Amino acid sequence: MNIWFLGTGAGRPSKHRNVTAIALQLPEPSCGWWLFDAGEATQHQLMRTPLKLSKLEAVFVTHLHGDHIYGLPGLLSSRSFDGGISPVQLFGPPGLKRYMETVFEISGTQLDYELQIHEITDDEGFITDNGQVKVEAGQLDHRVPCFGYRITEHDQPGKLLVDKLKELGVEAGPLYGKLKQGESIALPNGTVVRTADVTGPIQAGRVVTVLGDTKPCGNAVKLAKDADLLVHEATFAAGLEEKAHEFGHCTTIDAAETAAKANAKRLVMTHFSGRYGNEDLIRLEEEAAERFTAVTAATDFMMIEIKREQR
């Protein structure tokens, strides 16, 4: 499971970064990817990654400010030209359906695939599960309705210990399949083999939290609880909390404190104001590290592998 930062800026593009878009590559057997927000020119950013539009399975919009959605109609339109024919799920705040339908109607755009639009209510929790991962949403504290998303991968059984199976006399074939599905099997000599006896440690599901624009709030901590990776906006540097909160945003310190309260394993900050160049990112990381040490300031095209723990 990998996460790509396609745009890490706030408000408008700058010389250093594009506006918000984040891609999450799903693990096998899906091998598809999900998109979180699509600011202006997101499809241009995609061209500089190995991600293919035809493999896009779902889009999650945090809120309807332009720097998070102006690139969405063009991207979805281009998917038809890129061979995309499978359905795409689109999730986001109320008004998203009207926005998309209006743009497509006025521009005469027709898609070669089904676009299934789901608007999230204020008290939404669970919103979808594709069999590999489930997604929950919670409302944040911004100037317009805005959501954060918690993506939880289902635990996977440990790998079969083939050498041990051979020692027990279990032949490869249907019996292996039963053990993989968690069923016990009985051998001709009466020995009962349980799955737990012949498999390695359970592969714990990974948790990724992607928050939209927000000032500090309880739902941000709730969505990020024990997350392997928390993506949090840090529009302003430390010391500008009053200005940040006035406009529904956070500082580096705010982001770090949320990560600490949530017991997240890693924090990646994004959505930086245009006043900060890439040369300022080290300072922004150092500010956050005073409250939460496992922190990274994202740059455009940064890719992070989210590794799986075993238990």
Same-domain status, 172 and 98? no
Domain count for the chain, please give it. Answer: 2
Return the CATH number at 68.
3.60.15.10
Same-domain status, 28 and 170? no
Sign of CA dihedral 196, 197, 198, 200: positive
Q: Is the pLDDT of residue 310 over 70?
A: no
Asked if residue 265 lies in contact with residue 295, where contact means CB atoms within 8 angstroms, the answer is: no
Q: Is residue 311 part of a domain?
A: no
Q: Is the pLDDT of residue 167 over 60?
A: yes
Give tens-digit pLDDT for 119-147.
Answer: 998 777 999 999 899 999 999 999 999 99
* 6: nearest Cα among 45, 33, 51, 37: 45
Asked if residue 268 lies in contact with residue 296, where contact means CB atoms within 8 angstroms, the answer is: yes
Same-domain status, 77 and 207? yes
CA torsion angle for 152, 131, 83, 304 (degrees, to 10)? 30
Asked if residue 133 lies in contact with residue 127, where contact means CB atoms within 8 angstroms, the answer is: no
Same-domain status, 149 and 174? no
Check 67, 213, 228, 254 and give the catalytic one: 67
The residue from 197, 217, 252 where one domain ends is: 197
Q: Is residue 63 part of a domain?
A: yes
Same-domain status, 236 and 179? no
Same-domain status, 177 and 218? no
Same-domain status, 77 and 190? no
Pairing relationship of beta strands 229-233 and 207-210 according to DSSP bridges: parallel
pTM of the model: 0.90
Q: Is residue 248 part of a domain?
A: yes
Q: Is residue 226 part of a domain?
A: yes
Residue 112 among the catalytic residues: no
Same-domain status, 182 and 48? no
Same-domain status, 185 and 267? no
Same-domain status, 118 and 242? yes
Give tens-digit pLDDT for 197-247.
Answer: 888 888 889 999 999 999 999 999 999 999 999 999 999 999 999 999 999
Same-domain status, 123 and 178? no
Q: Is residue 310 part of a domain?
A: no
- Give the separation between CA 212 and CA 147, rounded to whole angstroms: 6
Asked if residue 238 lies in contact with residue 287, where contact means CB atoms within 8 angstroms, the answer is: yes
Same-domain status, 38 and 119? yes
Contacts of 246 (CB under 8 A, 6+ apart): none
Q: In what order do the strands lie in the sheet with 147-153?
A: 126-129, 133-139, 147-153, 207-210, 229-233, 267-270, 295-297
Q: Structural domain of residue 76, as residue ranges?
A: 2-156+202-305
Read off the amino acid at residue 129: D
Phi-psi region at 31: left, alpha or beta (left = phi > 0; alpha = psi -120 to 50): left
In which band, very low, low, confident or very high, does the pLDDT at 164 lie, cut at 50, 70 and 90?
Answer: confident
Q: Is residue 102 part of a domain?
A: yes
